[in-house]
Structure 1
Amino acid sequence: MSLTEKPAETPERRAFYDKIDKEAFTPLWAVMSSIITPEPKSACQPHLWNFANAKAHLLEAGNLITAKEAERRVLILENPGMRGDSKITTSLYAGLQLVMPGEVAPAHRHSQSALRFVLDGAGAHTAVNGERTEMNFGDFVITPPQAWHDHGNHTDEPMIWLDGLDIPMVSHFDASFAEGYGDDEQPIDRTMGDSLARYGANMLPVDYHQEKLASPIFNYPYERSRAALEQMKDQGEWDPCHGLKMRYVNPVDGGYAMPTIAPFLQLLPKGFKTAAYRATDATVFVPVEGSGRTTIDGQVFEWGPKDIFVVPSWKWVTHEADDEAVLFSFSDRVAQEKLGLFRQDRGNN
């Protein structure tokens, strides 16, 4: 017996398996090698979605269905190895959302955590629990679990952003709840920018007590994050596997900004090629600036701004930047770390 081989199947054993199957029993020794694997084994495949093609499809959808009728006009990014499951990785969902000028995506709330990463357009807004924030290119926006939220576009141009949610994770635990607000937009009772001023200036209200796991900041403007990377690159401290990579944090405790999804922003200087790296957290990447290529398990994917690609769990990956490049990414690393499951391999580094 081993972890990689099944015991031989004899006629007597097959007859026994058939007999106990009628009572919903299965012998562990017949399936152990497929459920407890020496290394991660996943249907998730490397893949890249071209943003120009995606935008054309979204705009066509904009002529077919309204944001209100659709509730959320989104094209799901389905991993080719898991078609029909609404997954980009085994634990995460991703989609591209379109809100046309003058539209509102109606208010609702749900158990799932959500992130938005703005890819196209400027000046639309998201409202979360009574506060609106303007959405601009590269902004990272959070919708915490069970937070009322709606999206509106009062500009003259379509707005497109990437949605990332923990839908498969929540479904795995049978913990999904959702409800509509009743009106398209929730009432706004907080001034715009209140959360960032209250929690994002290296201060907290004097008697603040953390009640929820998500960051109390729900918009991390790209302008501020990009400026931080620009300042730090002058130090020249490049990680061989990541270049300069930072994680978005919850200012209350310094932990990840979201309880189940770990978001990151990294900079690769022109001509930089990362050392080989692999980790157990399958990761979704979005080039924000620059162009280059990523090699995943021997497959090469050429990318430019706004394209989206996915790196499955425990597959070797390297990035190479033709120009100075900035990559946004997210994974389930925070959940894996909390459960003691996360593992990484930095090769010879």
Structure 2
Amino acid sequence: MINQAIPSNTQGRNAGEAASLPEEFRAALLDHALAPLWDFLKGALPHGRPAGVTRPHRWRYADVRPLLLEAGRLVPVAQAERRVIVLSDPGRGPHAMSATGTLYAGIQLLLPGETAPTHRHSPSAARIVIEGRGGFTIVNGQRCEMERGDIILTPGGQWHDHGHDGEGPVTWLDVLDLPVFTAAESAYAEGGHAGCNAEEPLMTLTSELLRQGLRPPQAWRRENAYPMLRYPWQTARAALERLAAATGQACAELAYVNPETGQDCLPILGFTAMMIGAGQHWQAVPTSASTVFHVVEGSGESRVDDHVFDWSAGDTFSSTTFACVSHRATHGQPAFLIRVDDAPLQKKLGFFQERQLA
């Protein structure tokens, strides 16, 4: 989580400075729940680049899938509420409930005929479908079919549940801003009750009409903060190819946005569809955002500072703030990825940065 203990700075000072405080004084500070800032200042505010604990990592879907299926045999979904294997940042030690300082990620499984019960929670979530057909998510009464690569939003405070009326397993990557809410001591959930996950017809109709260029009178419309809950992958994929062709480029990217406002589709999390042409190299601009990448199609290799990850469809890997990140697709076919980051949060707080490569 982002509320990590700040490392001590005393090792970076000379012995005279480290010994300058009497033990009785330090003990008195501890007795009153106090701490000397000068011991920790450089750890809290290092120069040049944040001293985070996140360690870039790749989670292979081929490794996670058999364990997830075994979990499906061992753990009934009614008992688990959400049958998820968390992608745990190794930099935070065993059982870490986040992939980066601000991003939680986990892979969820539903088997045919199963339903994950209705609930809602303060963090926002998105589901990126990895495998299977017949899965669906219902958000505020609106049924969203789940096809490979689709992004399904379940914004904070919105009732939702999941079901599966097809064949074979359905899996998806959950990404939440849970660590932010945990750090703010504001993370909680509520169980559903009869009739809670119901559609508001006037709100749905208002959004449909606005997308058609029609606006009902003020008295007859209901504003919708999240007018689009399902972002089909096939639409994004085709748009990437059209953009690449129109610009004459081998690589392209498109941000997922609220279609009525053009703003990010969630308040804290940002989503971007990426296409890397066959055999092509993509050098990213270092930013202050922490990031999770999910591979929808293709294969390739990415470098995150000194870490090199080869990847294929279904894999997920993480990146730290201001990391030097590059990607290369293998020859023969393009690769398609979805990037998830906390840039919307950082922009709202006024500290998002991009840095030019040397």
If the length of structure 1 is used for normalisation, what is the TM-score? 0.90
Tell me, yes or no, if structure 1 residue 182 matches structure 2 residue 196. Answer: no
Residue 26 of structure 1 is matched in structure 2 by 35
Give the aligned CA root-mean-square deviation in angstroms.
2.6
Secondary structure at the aligned position of 2:74 is classed as coil
C-alpha deviations, 1:188-224, integer Å up to 9, x for none?
6769x97984565566655456564xx3210011111
Equivalent of 1:113, from 103, 124, 143? 124
CA shift for structure 1 position 16: 2.3
Secondary structure at the aligned position of 1:17 is classed as helix
Distance in 1, matches of 2:164 and 2:348, equals 37
Secondary structure at the aligned position of 1:55 is classed as helix
The unaligned stretches of length 5 or more in structure 1 are none
CA shift for structure 1 position 273: 0.9
Distance in 2, matches of 1:59 and 1:340, equals 43
CA shift for structure 1 position 281: 1.1
Distance in 1, matches of 2:195 and 2:115, equals 7
The aligned amino acid for 2:81 is E
Distance in 1, matches of 2:234 and 2:280, equals 23
User: For the Cα contact (< 8 Å) 1:132–1:188, is it kept in 2?
Assistant: no
Tell me, yes or no, if structure 1 residue 75 matches structure 2 residue 85. Answer: yes
The aligned amino acid for 1:97 is Q
CA spacing shift, 1:281–1:183, aligned 2, 3 Å: same
Residue 262 of structure 1 is matched in structure 2 by 270
CA shift for structure 1 position 21: 2.3
Equivalent of 1:278, from 286, 309, 316? 286
The aligned amino acid for 1:46 is P
Aligned residues: 341
Equivalent of 2:255, from 237, 247, 252? 247
The unaligned stretches of length 5 or more in structure 2 are 1-8
Equivalent of 2:61, from 34, 43, 51? 51
C-alpha deviations, 1:55-85, integer Å up to 9, x for none?
1111111111121211001001101111323
Residue 336 of structure 1 is matched in structure 2 by 346
Tell me, yes or no, if structure 1 residue 134 matches structure 2 residue 148. Answer: no
In the TM superposition, structure 1's runs of 4+ consecutive aligned residues that sit over 6 Å from their partners are: 193-196
User: For the Cα contact (< 8 Å) 1:3–1:32, is it kept in 2?
Assistant: no
Tell me, yes or no, if structure 1 residue 288 matches structure 2 residue 296. Answer: yes
User: For the Cα contact (< 8 Å) 2:137–2:144, is it kept in 1?
Assistant: yes
Tell me, yes or no, if structure 1 residue 61 matches structure 2 residue 71. Answer: yes
Secondary structure at the aligned position of 1:345 is classed as coil
Tell me, yes or no, if structure 1 residue 225 matches structure 2 residue 222. Answer: no
User: For the Cα contact (< 8 Å) 1:276–1:347, is it kept in 2?
Assistant: no
C-alpha deviations, 1:292-325, integer Å up to 9, x for none?
1001112211111111111112221110111311
Structure with the largest fraction of helix: 2
Identity within the alignment, %: 33
Secondary structure at the aligned position of 1:274 is classed as strand
C-alpha deviations, 1:7-63, integer Å up to 9, x for none?
712354444222222112212112111111111111111111111221111111111
CA spacing shift, 1:336–1:210, aligned 2, 3 Å: farther
Residue 149 of structure 1 is matched in structure 2 by 160
CA shift for structure 1 position 139: 0.6
CA shift for structure 1 position 159: 0.6
Tell me, yes or no, if structure 1 residue 327 matches structure 2 residue 333. Answer: no
Secondary structure at the aligned position of 1:231 is classed as helix
Secondary structure at the aligned position of 1:63 is classed as helix
